Amino acid sequence: MEHKNKIYIIGAGVSGLIAAYELEQAGYHPIIIEQTDEVGGRVKTVHEKGYELDLGFQVLLSAYPLAKKYLDMDQLQLCKLESGALIYANNKSYLIGDPLRNWKILIPTLMSDIGSIADKLKILKLNIKLKFKSLEEIFASPEKTTQEYLVEFDFSSKIIERFFKPFFTGIFLEPDLRTSSRMFEFVYKMFGEGNAAIPKLGIGEISKQLKSKLQHTEFMFNCAVEEVTNESIFLCSGEKISHEGVIIASSPATLLPGHQNPTIAWKSCMCLYFEVNQTNIPANTIALIADPGNYSNNLYAYTDAATGKTILSVTTVQHKEKSIEKIIEKVIIEVQQYTGASLVKYIQHYKINFALPDIKDLKMTEQPSKSQVMETVFVAGDYLFNGSLNAAMESGRLAAKGMVQKKQTDEST
């Protein structure tokens, strides 16, 4: 197998697909090498037992700048989530939301026992602050933990424990709110300026749409890469491919032996799916369990597009060192206790070991040249900036731009 005068991309996740798109725009015909049999990486919908299940509960924030640039939102047939949540705490449930978007939620929000009136006024103050704070300013702000940020903002421990902690545990995939305050401000601003939404046919439609935009890209599926050098790509099958440029849109640590790579820690989560006969969760609303000691963190009920059944997605970050049998058993009990479902049929679970990069010094963007790690090798991935779909897209865009700039420089000298 020999491809000459080609640029290769390793990994067909969002970063790799965006890199391919940008290379096509510059006149190149890239080749993507993907170890699985389809595109998507972590942004994927799988077919399981007749159901369509996302590989972990994920939402698209429509305000992401690069989502607006690269995605056709109408074509995705987005199901917009309500701007609020149902919170379970102390054997009660509280429906809260943004009354500026839905006036009907005003009274329930004011009456909810998740914090004081002062806390709710501070949320309004936070909304206003971040509305007028640019993304550049957010990522230039001094970093602290989200927990420290909320305490300094003078939120009470009650609203932190009953709202911010369960809500952002589901986003940050860690229960202690140690994630950077830059990420908190960024995500909070994106929630305020757009909608959280899920494509009708699943989150994997995002990846499928990005692939459909590629007109001159070749795919090599079911091909695992063992090593990359400045001249060659070595496949695990033993094949060797010569190249004139590579973008590694997957973890580069094992592919560049001897090269200094930053060690990236990853956050993990587990998502479990159940078919249920009923729930008390309102349509298009995320439910959060604020009570301590539970495995379940955030729950989302929806109608499966393929079967018409009511499906409940449950995300847990409290799954380490526990058997899957124990987790399923306890989560079923929690689902029955909180949601009112009497029939809970286990479908499948997905443990995502590399769900989000656990990083500090979060960035929004960087110079394209920063993506270059070797003479002909560039890297892409959300771990370079921040754990978001926007960062995955930005890293792919910049790696492609850096590659093109280098090619142009080489040709002119």
pLDDT at 410 over 60: yes
What average pLDDT does the segment 2-17 reach?
84
Q: Are 198 and 53 in contact (CB under 8 A)?
A: no
Helix (H, G, I), strand (E, B) or coil at 279: coil
Q: How confident is the model at residue 160, as a pLDDT?
A: 95
**d(Cα 65, Cα 70) in Å, to the nearest integer?**
9
204-245: per-residue pLDDT in tens? Answer: 999 999 999 999 999 999 999 999 999 999 999 999 999 999
Burial 224-247 (b: 16+ CB within 10 A, else e): ebeebbeeebebeeeeebebebbb
What average pLDDT does the segment 286-311 reach?
93
Helix runs in 83-180, H state only: 106-111, 117-131, 135-140, 146-152, 157-159, 165-172
- Cα dist. 194→60, 109, 123, 207, 227 in Å? 10, 20, 17, 20, 41
**d(Cα 406, Cα 245) in Å, to the nearest integer?**
10
